Amino acid sequence: MSATIRRGRRPACLAGIAGLALLAVAPAALGDPFEPVAIAVDAPAIARSDRPLAVTATVTADPDALTGTDGPVRVRVKLATICGGSFEGTDGVTLLDEPLAPQPRAGTALRASATGRARPAGAGVQSVCAFVASANDERQYATNVDATVDVSARCTTAARRVERDERAAARSRRSLRSARTARRRHRTPATLRRVHRARRTALRATARARRSAAKARGRCGGAPW
């Protein structure tokens, strides 16, 4: 009796599983008909204020979604406190403003990436404002204002300290090599003392640089120096 019940329920379970599988596969198979053109932005979460900030924008478009435009299609990105409704309407630093390469072709889907960089104008959390527009009539095809970058004063200070400490560590290692060379040439108590002093200095400087680097990684979310 129990075996008969299990045999009777198995087709229903399989049908339910098959239905769930169809539901899971259907959206991927159909794609997203509401965004024929899209732009994605890759930008660091934290950046220094004294170094150029690099961003990469990737534009994807369905076949013929960008054909017939008035002039070349451009990808345009600014770093701003607030994104406006367009590239011209956004008050900020231009990170990227280039024509897409390759340009759209009739009947062909498009995927193109471009990278740009510029030094931020100030500190604080800022938005990355990305637009896809035609060059001549400024018609806008896609926008992305989701990414933000923390242009961090704490990260900038910590990274500068790393650079300073690493330079000091490099100088101390050069002094140690020089002291060892002198010791090989002239094996005297004075050259031995020089080697010992240079070694202590190099060890301390190297340890200081490592501590600075560890602190900067915590404040910068990586190693931006």
Q: Are 55 and 96 in contact (CB under 8 A)?
A: yes
pLDDT band at 26 (very low <50, low <70, confident <90, very high): very low
**Residue 74: both structure tokens together:** 């451009």
Q: What percent of the chain has pLDDT over 90?
A: 74
pLDDT band at 95 (very low <50, low <70, confident <90, very high): very high
Q: Is the pLDDT of residue 174 over 80?
A: yes
- Mean pLDDT on 13-38: 46
In sequence order, what are the residues at sequence separation of 6 or more whose Cβ sits closer than 8 angstroms to the Cβ of residue 120? Answer: 47, 49, 53, 79, 93, 126, 149, 151
- Mean pLDDT on 83-104: 94
- Mean pLDDT on 120-145: 92
pLDDT of 138: 76
The whole-chain average pLDDT of the chain stands at 85
Whether the pTM exceeds 0.75: the reply is no
> C-alpha distances in angstroms, 21 versus 12, 25, 97, 161, 174?
14, 6, 43, 55, 65
Q: Is the pLDDT of residue 54 over 60?
A: yes
**Around Cβ 88, how many Cβ atoms within 10 Å?**
12
pLDDT of 81: 95
- Stretch among 27-31, 108-112, 161-165 having the lowest mean pLDDT: 27-31
- Stretch among 59-68, 75-84, 216-225 having the lowest mean pLDDT: 216-225
